[in-house]
Chains A and B, each alone.
Chain A
C-alpha cells in the first residue's frame, strides 16, 4: 500500500466509501464542505446514492430513513449543523439503528466562526439531543487516524446499534498529510434482520422511536443502557506517550493532544518527568485509566481547545486523588506548543495548589496575560 497526500475532509470521505458506504446525505458547511464535494462525484462514480439535502434537518432524516433499511449510511457537518441534527440524532438513538456522523468542529457558540475548536465536546459527548441516550465519540489527531477510525466506525455502530461520531476539529479536516487508505470493501449484500425492506404480514417490520407505554420506554432505556455498558467495557481507546516515570500527566485529545505532544517532548528533553494521555474514545471516556494515572502522578494538566469541557470528566474520574490544572484556548484560537510547555514548566516548579477550581485559576492566569 502507498502513502498518499490527503486532505482530512476528503480522506475520511474516501475511508467511508472504502468501508462500504451505501449512501451519503449532507449539507454544505465550513470547515467540512470538501467532504460533501468529494462525495458528490465519488458516490455516483460507484453507482451509490449521494444527495445534497435542503438542510441539516433534511440530511439527518434522510440518513435516518436509509439507516432503517440497514444500509451503511453517513453524513458530515460542523457545529451549527450538528445543532440542527440533534432532533434526528435523538430519534435515531431511540430507534436503535446505526449511523456514522463526522463532526468537523469550529468556533462557537452561535454562528461563531469557521476556525478549529473543540467546543462541541459537551454536545457530542454528553448527549445533545433530548432523552436518555449515549453515542460513541472518537477523536482522532491526524489524517491517518481519521481514516482508520472512520473506516472502522461503521462496524462499531452496527455492533452496538448506535450512533458513531468521528469528531475532528477543523484543522484536521483542512490539513493535508500523508495517509494510507485501507482496502476497498464490497457493499454488504445481506440485510440485517431488524431492517425494513418491504415486507407484509408476519414479515412486517416497523422502525419507530415511539414507546407510548412508560414501561416500554423504560425497557428500551434499560436495553440501550445495558448495551452502552458493553461499549464502556470493550471500546475504550487512548494513547500514552512518555508516561514511564511521569510525575505530570498532560491529558488532551485531537489537535490539542497532538500539540501537547510537542510540548511534552520538549519538556522531557529538559528533564521534566511529564507524559501525555491522549483519549481517543471521548465517549466512552477512559475514566478507569485517568483514575489509575491520578494515583501515579503529582499533577494532571488538561489541555483543550475550549473553556474546559473534558476537564469536568477528568475531575470526576480523578475524584480528588491528584492535583488537576487546566489550560485552554477557545473560539478557534489554537494553542502553540510553547504555551503548553510554559504550563508544564510552571507546574513542575510550583503547581497552583492555592485552592479553587482549575478553571477559575486558569481564567485568572489568562487575565494576567491579557486574554
Chain B
C-alpha cells in the first residue's frame, strides 16, 4: 500500500478559526456543538470575527463565550435581547448576536425578545429549541410538546393544566419589526446544511442594516430526553418537526435577491 503524505493533502474540512479548540461542557450528542460550529463558520466566512460581539444567555449555553474566539458579554436569564440592544445602540457598526435557549427566550425572556423584535432591533438571534430546560435537568419548558414527559411534568404535559407550547418563530414573524425569521433543524446532515444557510442569511440581514433576524434551531437533548443521540435525532424528526414546522416565516424582500 502506498504511504500517504499528509503534507501534500488538501485540507477540505477544519475547525473554524473562531471556534476555540477546547472540550465543551455540552453532553455527548447534544446539538449545541453543531450550532456553535455553524455560527463560527458563518462568522469566519463573512470575515466578521474582529467586529462581532456575542451575547450569551442562561442555560446550557451560558458558557458559549468560552468557545467562541471573539468578544462576548453574558446576560441575565432572558435578558440577552435587551443587553444586545444596549451593545448595538452604542456600537452600531458592530455585529451583535444573542445565543439563547427556549427556556431563556420563550419563557423568562418573552418580554425582551418580543420588544426587541418589535423595535426591529438590528441584531441576530440564534435560538435553540430543545423542548426542555436542559441545564437544570430537564424540566418542562414553554416549548415542551403536549404529552411530553419532563422532570416537572412527570405524567406528560397536560395541556388542560399546563397550557400549550409557544411557537416563537410564528409569533415573532407577525411583528412588523422583524426582517428574517426562520425555523431550521439540526437532526440530520441535510437540515444542518439548511440551518447554516439560514444563519448566514440572518447575519447578512444585520450587515445590511435590515433589522431583527432570528434563526430557530430545533435541537436534541439526549441526556434529558433519555435517548441515545441517534434516537434523539429520530425523535426530533418524528415529534418536534410536525409541531414546529421547518420554514421561512418572514423574509425581507431585499434578502430574496441574495444567493448563498
Contacts and interface: CB of A to CB of B under 8 A. Distances in A.
A61 B84 CA distance: 8
B50 A198 contact: yes
Interface in A61-104: 61-69, 71, 73, 87-88, 91, 95
Interface in B72-89: 72-76, 79, 82-89
Contacts of A25: 86
Interface stretch (B63-71, B136-144, B169-177): B63-71
Interface residues of B, number: 36
Contact of B71 (A66, A67, A198, A210): A198
Interface in A23-64: 23, 25, 49, 51, 53-55, 57-59, 61-64
B55 interface: yes
A200 interface: yes
Contacts of A197: 53, 71, 91, 94
Q: Which 9 A-B residue pairs are closest in the complex by CB-CB distance?
A: A65-B86, A54-B115, A61-B82, A62-B86, A208-B74, A65-B83, A66-B86, A200-B49, A61-B79
Nearest to B71: A196
A64 B86 contact: yes
Interface of B: 18, 49-53, 55-56, 62-63, 65, 69-76, 79, 82-91, 94-95, 111-112, 114-115
Contact of B87 (A69, A87, A91): A69
A62 B71 contact: no
Nearest to B78: A57
Contacts of B83: 61-62, 64-65, 68
A62 B115 CA distance: 12
21 contacts: A49-B89, A49-B90, A51-B89, A54-B114, A57-B112, A58-B111, A64-B83, A64-B86, A65-B83, A65-B88, A66-B86, A95-B74, A199-B50, A199-B71, A200-B52, A204-B71, A208-B56, A208-B65, A208-B73, A208-B74, A209-B74
B51 A198 contact: yes
A62 B94 CA distance: 16
B83 to A, nearest CB: 4
Nearest to B74: A208
Nearest to B93: A198
Contacts of B62: 210
B76 A68 contact: no
A362 B82 CA distance: 46
Nearest to A48: B90
Say whether chain B's binding surface is mostly helix, strand, loop, or mixed: mixed
Contacts of B69: 200-201, 204
B115 A58 contact: yes
Interface string A224-236: 0000000000000
B90 A22 contact: yes
Given A23-B90, A199-B50, A200-B69, A62 B85 contact: yes
A207 interface: yes
A175 interface: no
Contact of B111 (A57, A88, A198, A206): A57
Contacts of B73: 64-65, 68, 95, 196, 206-208
